[in-house]
Amino acid sequence: MKKKIILLSGDPNSINSEIIYKSWIKLNSSTRKKIYLISNFELLKQQFKKLKYSIKLIKVDSVNDRIQYNKLKVLDLNLKFKNPFNVPQKSASKFIINSLNYGHKLALRKDVHGLINCPINKKLLRKNNTGVTEYLASKCGVVNNSEVMFIFNKKLSVCPITTHININQINKKINKKLITNKILTIQKWFKKKFHRSPKIGILGLNPHNAELKNNSEEKRIIIPSILKLKKFKIDIKGPLVADTLFIKDYKKFDIIVGMYHDQVLTPFKTLFKFNAINITLGLKYLRISPDHGVATDLIGKKKANPTSLINCINFLNFF
């Protein structure tokens, strides 16, 4: 049997049970055999029942248990919830933290291929950290902020240098070391997977790159970072202008690196919508998640799109 895939059901107040079901029914038998779902057995059972989904679940005690492929194997977090679609924030937060800790522990095993978490409301992690990327990086002992939020699509991938921080904090967070470490992490991973160096474009921070004024972040931080990275023989160009790049010039690159989350995520999602996955690079294992949120407005409506979760499973399955 090939390496196992750990799937976390994620936020209980979400479309996750729906996309898990819609993904499961499209998977082949060999892929189903690899999947172990960390969730709450009774909660999941109630949610599937309310959605009128027919799916066979079975509790397992560990990833060593080998059960028939037609049953979804659940590593049960035995927490009690009264309303399957309205779990209180305190209980949901505890559930998420326990899930991530359990998933992290299993992902370190040699017989586990990687970790996929379904969407999570970041408010549930706020007391511990700012997001799943940062939380798992802390668990893995990552230093120098070298972990990377990498949004992957076969045609184009993007990476924000800063992730889940407020706009007024961005210019205080970016620095030459941060940019250099993250791009080196990307370079190493990309060469390992695709056996070639990627073509990387890096954006400036300010509109029109602040006209490259001497006191701008472009002059003080971004350009020196580019020059340093070129010494490592990295194929990188910039700083590029953010307001025009995504019209057509993005096609010249494999990866676009931006200074903040929405600078690259907004145009990327406009171009590719659900056809992307979120990969955390720089951890001790592969961690992937769908590139969308919990979509509370769609709960119970059976309108959720499972494409991104299916892409996550397929990517990890064939990596």
Residue 131 is predicted with a pLDDT of 81
Q: Do residues 13 and 95 share a domain? A: yes
Residues pairing with 283 in the sheet: none
Please state the rounded mean pLDDT for residues 185-196: 94
| Chain mean pLDDT for the chain | 91
Same domain assignment for residues 152 and 250:
yes
CA distances from 130 to 1, 134, 170, 245, 249 (A): 37, 6, 14, 29, 32
Same domain, 138 and 15: yes
Residues 172 and 210 in one domain: yes
pLDDT at 1 (0 to 100): 45
Looking at the structure, tell me whether residues 186 and 86 fall in a common domain. no
Helix, strand, or coil (residue 6): strand
Which of 214, 147, 219, 153 is closest to 183 using CA atoms?
A: 147
At residue 130 the predicted structure's pLDDT band, cuts being 50, 70 and 90, is low
Do both 138 and 203 map to the same domain? no
Rounded CA separation 217/305 (Å):
39
Residue 131's nearest CA partner among 103, 98, 96 is 96
Residue 69 in this model has a pLDDT that exceeds 70: no
Q: Which residue has the higher pLDDT, 67 or 259?
A: 259
pLDDT in tens, 245-298: 999 999 999 999 999 999 999 999 999 988 899 999 999 999 999 988 898 888
Structural domain of 174: 144-281
- Residue 273 has which token pair? 């919508």
CATH number of the domain where residue 18 is located: 3.40.718.10
Cα(204)–Cα(213) distance, integer angstroms: 12
Peptide bond before residue 239 is cis, with ω within 30 degrees of 0:
yes
Answer yes or no: is pLDDT of 209 > 80.
Answer: yes
Overall domain count for the chain: 2
**Average of pLDDT values for 224-228?**
98
Residues 296-316 have a mean pLDDT of: 92
pLDDT in tens, 93-108: 999 999 999 999 999 9
Q: Do residues 32 and 121 share a domain?
A: yes
Instruction: Please check whether residues 156 and 108 belong to one and the same domain.
Output: no
The segment with the largest mean pLDDT, out of 130-139, 157-166, 230-239, is: 230-239
Provide the whole-model pTM.
0.87
In this predicted structure, the answer to whether residue 303 has a pLDDT above a threshold of 70 is yes
Q: How far is CA 260 from the centre of its chain?
A: 16
Same structural domain for residues 99 and 167? no
316 & 204 share domain: no
Residue spans of alpha helices (H) in the chain: 16-24, 29-34, 41-51, 89-107, 132-139, 170-173, 176-194, 217, 223-231, 242-245, 261-272, 307-318
Share of the chain above pLDDT 90, in %: 74
Torsion of CA 80, 72, 296, 280, to 10 degrees: 110
pLDDT beyond 80 at 224: yes
Lookup: tokens for 275: 């056809």
Q: Are residues 294 and 263 in the same domain?
A: no
Q: Are 60 and 179 members of one domain?
A: no
Of residues 90, 169, 99, 177, the one with CA closest to residue 139: 99
**Are 23 and 309 contacting, i.e. CB atoms less than 8 angstroms apart?**
yes
* pLDDT interval class at 319 (50, 70, 90): low
